[in-house]
Chains A and B, each alone.
Chain A
Amino acid sequence: MNSADAFRQEVRTWLEENCPPSQRRPIVREEQVWAGRNKTFPNNDAKLWFERMRDRGWTVPDWPQALGGGGLDEQQTRILKEEMKALGCRTPLYDLGIWMLGPAVLEFGTEAQQHEHIPKIARGEIRWCQGYSEPGAGSDLASLQTRAEDCGDHFLVNGTKIWTTNADKADWIFCLVRTDPAAKKQEGISFLLIDMNDPGVTTTPIELISGESEFCQTFFDNVKVPKGNLIGELNKGWSVAKALLKHERKLMSEIGGDTPGPSFGPVQAALEYIGLGEDGKLKDLALRDQLVRHEMNFRAIGLTHFRSFEERMHGLADPNVPLIMKYVGTEETKNKDELLVALLGHQALGWGGAGFNDDEILTTRGWLFSKALSIAGGTSEVQLNIIAKRALELPEHNAQA
């Protein structure tokens, strides 16, 4: 047995012994365990599972052990994820700090900043949210206007951030702020961490077409922020943000694996809501063709994730492959949700009340929510701009010509 197989065996045994059966059922939104100062658990099993994973450092398996992580390499991390998926283990802890801020602090933060923030993220003690977009700065993120004025021992922050996901429940926010108003766009931006409890910070939720209000708008009115909360160099926040966006896009390209949704996939839904004819084919042949197109595309995307991983393992990584994954992943998820709605027919039209089961309502809400996937984290159009520029090296447009 090689070391990878031995590790897989060890992981499997540990998971089987330590993951309570209730934590192996598909996740529902109400039972997700989110980080936070006032963390709550839906039940004792969820608490137990979180604590066991936390104590092994496996809430953040690939972070350094000294900072509360699991110290696993890329292959081991992958094995852990595969084994968790095979057993159906739930993600023990949800937090933007794990997915986005942590990797950026590990890359750009000082040692003091790492010791301050990383262990808290690993242990789920602080819930983080993100402050990038502004009402006037969406796809054109670099035109952001929130000011952080240098006042000697602190910054004075004024402005507003929008699409701050779960900001009303978060403890801290990581923000892009303008520290040099005279500099050109990207050059005068810094990356700042702000405690949501600080005086002058307020947040209001925004209701979406899906009926949810995960997204918020956050206002900063003369908020005093210590200088030590600056990550990376002053006016160099754009490079931190870019590194972090890569993590967000990677996460979004993998979305669907662990987000709440109906308990059925498209094939199951087709069998249940349409059924097979005597010839063994789905009774609606037009929908059958749509279904098989989706299934084939989904498999091709999965194989591409795997190819990209294998290439990295063999030192043959193609830097251009990760560029496409946010675009193809989110577009296919939208496509899948449209397909589910079509497959469920009238049963996907409910907003609530009697006559619709939970899976049907989740299908409808999920379909509406999926529209945000190709907008958040860089729109599909921005992704195509990036592919054209970086992978294909096509020239910049000259509006004056």
Chain B
Amino acid sequence: MALVLNEEQRLLKDTAKDFLSSTMPVSELRALRDSGDTHGYKPDHWQAMCELGWSGIVFPEEFGGLDFGYLGLGAIFEQTGRTLAASPLLSTVVLSASLIQLAASEQQKQELLPAIISGELTLALALEEGHHHAPTAIQTQAEKTADGYILNGRKSVVLDASSADKLVVIARTNKDSNGSEGLSAFLVNSQVKGITQHSKQWVDSRSASEIIFENVQLSDADLLGEADQIWPALNIALDRSRICLAAEMLGGALECFERTVAYLKERDQFGQKIGSFQALQHRAAILFTELELAKSVVLDALSAIDDKRPDLPQLASLAKARLNDVFEKVTSEAVQMHGGIGVTDELEIGFFLKRSRVATQLFGNSGFHRDRYATLCGY
């Protein structure tokens, strides 16, 4: 358990801060939105992030990674939250590559991980099928044939699918199973016959798609790891993603809060700074306490990944539920405390508000995670 960053990790955090604030400030996300882009991020940005080594931070050196751990990657995610930097870091490196690292065969790992780390290969995980996060409610079927599988089904929300080179599709390979049993993962080229993609314009200007699979032919080699057995790895990959997203949300909440406190010290009304009014001081102070608790939860959850602690699922749910609530509260209060200018598109606060609600829905809202935490604790 480590609740402070070591010197190398702090250095990495500073580097990330410098790079992101100069190269990928919030204005870049605005420009991306205004350009009508459906890619979800700028490929140049992603290439630069890979060159900084961020795509390889959590992977072993044998695959070209840095083996630097999730506390380090979390520090980067926190900084991407501060500038709302759009990239496939979460969908490719944490969500999909984790699954490969945890479940794929040695040969698949040798083929895929170095390409992910170098930035040549981006992936999107096709999991969700409904209106809310429900990782075991899978109806998509992959039916066994003589030399492979036939894939049929619909995925409602796939992050970064429009830009991804390949999809990782979760499907039911055992027709008679339900819940977390009988699920498998397939690596699918997103251009093959039978796949229809509808890209969605989301409120946070990032990218997600609906994908329909109709009689898509897969070979046995497309199966990641063993048939019917993907759930344990998927569960861990999801927990890592929840925690990294929580780190991003922490950065977004801190940035939004700091901008708001600065505004309270700058804006004059009734002949004085509005930050002198107790009605606003107490609300700002309460947000401060919430953020301090949030920092501790995120750090402990990140270190739980590195230390392979058995309470990882609890920590992931604790972190995600808390950051959902804190980010929502901070962004709503930030808009209100900015007053009229808070609801204008000109001010960047609105971008944080929009991102917070998207991030809340990804990988489980607070109700999902409180229910999960209670169940894990035996009540």
Contact = CB atoms under 8 A, between A and B. Distances in A.
User: Are the chains A and B members of one assembly?
Assistant: yes
Interface of A: 267, 270-271, 276, 280-282, 288-289, 291-293, 295-297, 299-301, 303-304, 306-307, 310-311, 314, 316, 320-321, 324, 327-328, 381, 383-385, 387-388, 391-398, 401
Contacts of B300: 303
Interface stretch (B34-42, B95-103, B266-274): B266-274
Among A289, A307, A398, which residue has the most Cβ atoms of chain B within 10 A?
Answer: A307
A179 to B, nearest CB: 31
A303 B296 contact: yes
Contacts of A270: 379
Among B273, B296, B299, B367, which residue has the most Cβ atoms of chain A within 10 A?
Answer: B296
B370 A324 contact: no
Among A282, A381, A385, A387, which residue has the most Cβ atoms of chain B within 10 A?
Answer: A387
A300 B298 CA distance: 10
A296 B315 CA distance: 10
Interface of B: 1-4, 261, 264-265, 270-273, 275-278, 281-282, 284-286, 288-289, 292-297, 299-300, 318, 321-322, 367, 370-371, 373-375, 377-379
A297 B277 CA distance: 29
B374 A328 contact: no
B270 A401 contact: yes
Contacts of A320: 288, 292
Contacts of A398: 271-272, 276
Q: Is the interface of A mostly helix, strand, loop or mixed?
A: helix
A281 B375 contact: yes
Contact of B276 (A281, A303, A396): A396
Contacts of B4: 307, 310-311, 314, 316
Nearest to B1: A306
Contact of B288 (A292, A381, A387, A396): A387
A395 B299 contact: no
A397 B289 CA distance: 22
A292 B374 CA distance: 6
B373 to A, nearest CB: 6
Contacts of B293: 297, 300-301, 303-304, 328
Contacts of B273: 394-395
Nearest to B289: A324
Contacts of B281: 384-385, 388, 392, 394
Given A280-B375, A307-B3, A307-B299, A384 B286 contact: yes
B379 A276 contact: yes
Contacts of A384: 281-282, 285-286
Given A303-B300, A392-B284, A394-B284, A296 B270 contact: no
A300 B322 contact: yes
Contact of A388 (B271, B282, B373, B378): B282
Nearest to B295: A307
Nearest to B282: A384
B373 A292 contact: yes
A286 to B, nearest CB: 12
Among A296, A321, A384, which residue has the most Cβ atoms of chain B within 10 A?
Answer: A296
Given A384-B286, A392-B284, A401-B271, A306 B3 contact: yes
A394 B318 contact: no
A293 B265 contact: no
Among A271, A293, A303, which residue has the most Cβ atoms of chain B within 10 A?
Answer: A303
Given A296-B322, A300-B322, A324-B292, A395 B275 contact: yes
Contact of A381 (B282, B294, B374, B379): B282
Given A307-B295, A381-B282, A324 B288 contact: yes
Contacts of B285: 383-385, 387-388, 391-392
Nearest to A316: B4
A316 B277 CA distance: 32
B297 A300 contact: yes
B288 A391 contact: yes
A310 to B, nearest CB: 5
A301 B295 CA distance: 11
28 contacts: A280-B378, A281-B375, A282-B374, A282-B379, A288-B374, A289-B367, A289-B370, A289-B374, A295-B373, A295-B374, A296-B322, A300-B294, A300-B296, A303-B297, A303-B299, A306-B296, A321-B292, A385-B281, A385-B282, A387-B289, A392-B285, A394-B264, A394-B276, A395-B265, A395-B272, A397-B278, A398-B276, A401-B270
